[in-house]
């Protein structure tokens, strides 16, 4: 019953996990390198819904907006992604462009 077992190196014991970690990390790093800080800008705008709700209420009361678009439909996060978010003045000023849809929209087949 005296068996000699050969101890495998650290790499041979853990290469499955290291390979899996590298395979998962490559798309994540690629995504953040391609988008830059846009992910954080949209995330911070989404975490502060008051920014968009105030602008939505102001636009919904504007006569020109009502004349051109009709009553505005509800805001959702996907419309924010279609638009743009820009923070300026050390994060004190926010410029948000959001795609608005109203009741007068024309549907295309």
Report d(CA 76, CA 94) in Å as an integer: 18
Long-range contacts of 88-96 (CB under 8 A, 24+ apart): 94/45, 94/51, 96/45, 96/51, 96/52, 96/55
- Average pLDDT over the chain, rounded to whole? 79
Where do the domains of the chain lie? Answer: 10-97
pLDDT at residue 70 greater than cutoff 80: yes
* pLDDT > 90 in the chain, percent: 15
Rounded to two decimals, the pTM is: 0.50
Secondary structure percentages of the chain, helix, strand, coil, to 5: 55, 10, 30
Cβ atoms within 10 A of the Cβ of 85, count?
21
pLDDT (mean) for 30-36: 84
Using pLDDT thresholds of 50, 70 and 90, give the confidence band for residue 108.
Answer: very low
pLDDT of residue 2: 67
């Amino acid at each position: 019953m005296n068996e000699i077992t050969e101890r495998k190196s650290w790499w041979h014991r853990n290469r499955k996990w290291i390979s899996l970690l590298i395979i998962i990390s490559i798309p994540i790093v690629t995504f953040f390198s391609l988008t830059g800080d846009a992910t954080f800008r949209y995330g911070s705008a989404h975490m502060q819904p008051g920014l968009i709700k105030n602008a939505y209420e102001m636009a919904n009361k504007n006569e020109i907006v009502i004349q051109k678009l009709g009553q505005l439909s509800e805001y959702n996060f996907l419309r924010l992604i279609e638009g743009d978010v820009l923070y300026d003045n050390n994060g004190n000023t926010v410029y948000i462009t959001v795609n608005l849809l109203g009741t007068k929209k024309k549907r295309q087949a």
